[in-house]
Amino acid sequence: MTKLVLRGVERRFGSTLAVAGLDLDIRPGEFVSLLGPSGCGKTTTLRMIAGFIDPTAGTIEMDGKVLSSPAGSLPPERRDMSMIFQSYAIWPNMTVEQNVAFGLELRRISADEVRRRVREMLEVVHMGHLAGRYPAELSGGQQQRVALARAIVIKPSVLLLDEPLSNLDANLREEMRFEVRRLHDAYRYTTVYVTHDQSEAMTTADLIAVMNAGRIEQAGPPEEIYARPRSEFVARFIGSSNIVKGKNLDAHHISVAGKAVRCSGASLARGGETAVSIRQHDIRLSATPPPETENVLSGLIVRQVFLGGARDYMVELGDGTQLRVVRPAGESIAQGANVWVYLPPEHCRALTG
């Protein structure tokens, strides 16, 4: 059975369409990330799932029961969901232990059971030794662990997270991505996670729904979204692909800088124009002509940046098209040098959207 079902969900704020006819099925125990830029509708979608906002069209169901529709919605406190906010929202006047116990005490669970579950949960999030501290005495990462513990300890049917790591510094954010996933693997709660950070989504999610202008552009496992983007927006947003446009020569070739480039993916309509995605690290760069006879283009290095473990190149082709190429640090070619680029056909993905 599908845990959460969103069918034709729409939300308007006056004349502004924030979420436009969104469809999404979330299986029990699945970790789904709503990924997209600011203003794409991902947080509005999460707030509708939580019950803070009603949809203006469509329905949201859980385990076959309608939670939200234009006709009426079940209030948030009756949805058996926990939500973690960007600001953590933990009580400053309560200790770590009291914060985690709060939701259990509201449910009138026995004091012994509350103590047992709180103690167990604090050990799971590695906060047992700080049980008596107040939030002001904790780091940002520790406060986020308290928020996670408080949300999970009540054993919700669905866990909702709204940009939960955005207030942390880069190192803590990376650490907490893995912590969020570790806790999900331990408890397997159905989880919906909102983020604009593709690394967070790739690290944590079973399924990524890439949103743009209130719609889901593409949904699928992280590897599929990355390797087989369907639209120019998804290709640029996930992994910052090069997007090359050219006239279709036949079902599998486009013209780039006067050369035929073979592509994978959708069959092309002869005479039209197609955008093709190719990742920076999939392009090969050489100071001498490579052995391949197809998908080889000549160009000029107009930028070279040393990044420690890699070198970041910008190569300009004969027609002015620029390709960003990332190669290992040991492959050094000087700026201003003439080069050949090889675009592996299996990595040249024709985009249909």
Give the pLDDT means over successive 10-residue stretches in the chain (353 positions): 89 96 96 96 97 96 94 92 86 94 90 94 92 93 91 93 87 88 92 95 96 96 92 89 93 92 87 92 94 94 95 95 96 96 94 79
SS3 per-residue string spanning 102-131: HHHHHCCCCHHHHHHHHHHHHHHCCCHHHC
Count of Cβ atoms closer than 10 Å to residue 269 Cβ: 11
Nearest-angstrom CA–CA distance, 30 and 148: 17
pLDDT of residue 293: 87
pLDDT of residue 2: 65
Question: What residue type is assigned to position 7 of the chain?
Answer: R
Question: What residue type is assigned to position 12 of the chain?
Answer: R
Here the tokens at position 228 are 């087989």
Token pair 């492959």 is found at 331
Nearest-angstrom CA–CA distance, 125 and 182: 10
Count of Cβ atoms closer than 10 Å to residue 167 Cβ: 14
Count of Cβ atoms closer than 10 Å to residue 206 Cβ: 16
pTM for the model stands at 0.87
pLDDT of residue 171: 84
Nearest-angstrom CA–CA distance, 30 and 12: 28
pLDDT of residue 352: 78
Mark out the alpha helices in the chain (DSSP H runs): 42-50, 96-106, 111-124, 140-153, 170-187, 198-204, 222-227, 232-237
190 and 26 Cβ atoms separated by less than 8 Å: yes
pLDDT of residue 1: 53
Write down all domains in the chain, each with its CATH number in brackets.
4-232 (3.40.50.300), 240-350 (2.40.50.140)
pLDDT of residue 15: 93
DSSP-assigned states of every residue in 190-249: EEEEEES-HHHHHHH-SEEEEEETTEEEEEE-HHHHHHS--SHHHHHHTT--EEEEEEE-
Question: What residue type is assigned to position 324 of the chain?
Answer: R
Q: What is the largest CA-CA distance in the chain?
A: 76
CB-neighbour burial class of residue 158 (10 A; exposed 0-12, middle 13-18, buried 19+): buried
135 and 92 Cβ atoms separated by less than 8 Å: yes
Here the tokens at position 207 are 């399924």
Nearest-angstrom CA–CA distance, 188 and 30: 7
Residues 6+ apart with CB under 8 A from 340: 285, 286, 287, 288, 289, 290, 296, 297, 298, 299
Task: Sheet containing 65-69: give its strands across.
Answer: 16-26, 4-13, 57-62, 65-69, 72-73
Question: What is the DSSP code (8-state) at residue 269?
Answer: P
